[in-house]
């Protein structure tokens, strides 16, 4: 079985008593290590799809299988462990904790597990921040960093636990052209070096063209 599979995935939200369908039977096969862009107009369901793939939400119908595991059969605790151990998330907004330094923010996912010592985790956090070009900003708080630097901290944090799946939802949406292009290159380089499967939801067609495969959503379905 491929690394990530969806079978007839559907998601609807309620508007009063009326269900509003967003995803209408999405079936995908994604291999380990693939780099994929998900494109489509606003409101088509790109973010919804990523939330289902990352176990942040549950489908109305259909199934998601991650490395052979059926997400719908897992308990909330098992899903929480899966998200922290195997899935890295990068959103349009960095969601850094303002009172903590860059290093402390990157360390957060590791502190939620018992898989490594704090010393080893601190070494890993420093190495990641150096990889994203912030080796001189280890002890700076988010308010002392530019928008591009804050998003690079978010990238390092997402990679902290060596996730097998990296999900990015419009990660450069708040950055200007040069900073966005730099972030895109960084995401591809790091996902390759870390061995992560990379899925990016984006409006940026230049970014999409650099990916191995493009999935276009149209009217809640995968466009032919």
Domain at 68, CATH number = 3.40.50.300
Structural domain count of the chain: 1
Sheet containing strand 165-169, edge to edge, reads 87-90, 165-169, 197-201, 35-39, 213-218, 221-222
The tokens describing 220, both together, are 């809640």
> From CA 8, how far away is CA 221, in angstroms rounded?
10
Per-residue pLDDT 10s for the chain (224 aa) are: 799 999 999 999 887 778 889 999 999 999 999 999 999 988 889 999 999 999 999 999 999 999 999 999 999 999 998 998 899 999 888 889 999 999 999 998 888 776 678 888 899 999 999 999 999 999 999 999 998 899 899 999 999 999 999 999 988 877 777 878 888 888 899 999 989 999 999 988 888 888 999 999 999 999 86
Neighbouring C-alpha atoms within 13 Å toward the C-beta of 109 = 25
> From CA 92, how far away is CA 174, in angstroms rounded?
7
Element (H, E) at 123: helix 118-131
Q: Which domain holds residue 188?
A: 4-222
> From CA 41, how far away is CA 24, in angstroms rounded?
16
Q: Give the helix, strand, coil percentages of the chain, each rounded to 5.
A: 40, 25, 35
């Amino acid at each position: 079985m491929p690394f990530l599979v969806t079978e007839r995935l559907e998601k609807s939200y309620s508007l009063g008593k009326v269900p509003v369908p967003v995803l209408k039977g999405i079936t995908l096969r994604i291999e380990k290590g693939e780099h994929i862009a998900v494109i489509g107009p606003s409101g088509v369901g790109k973010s919804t799809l990523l939330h289902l793939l990352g176990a942040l939400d549950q489908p109305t119908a259909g199934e998601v299988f991650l490395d052979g595991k059926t997400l719908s059969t897992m308990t909330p605790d098992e899903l929480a462990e899966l998200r922290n151990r195997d899935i890295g998330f990068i959103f349009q907004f960095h969601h850094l904790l303002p009172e903590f330094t860059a290093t402390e923010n990157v360390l957060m996912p590791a502190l939620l597990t018992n898989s490594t010592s704090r010393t080893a985790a601190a070494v890993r956090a420093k190495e990641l921040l150096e990889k994203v070009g912030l080796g001189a900003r280890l002890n700076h708080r988010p308010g002392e960093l530019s928008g591009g630097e804050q998003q690079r901290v978010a990238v390092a944090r997402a990679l902290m636990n060596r996730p097998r799946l990296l999900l990015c939802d419009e990660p450069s949406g708040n950055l200007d052209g040069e900073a966005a292009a730099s972030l895109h290159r960084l995401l591809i380089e790091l996902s390759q070096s870390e061995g992560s499967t990379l899925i990016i939801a984006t409006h940026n067609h230049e970014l999409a063209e650099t990916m191995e495969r493009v999935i276009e959503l149209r009217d809640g379905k995968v466009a032919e």
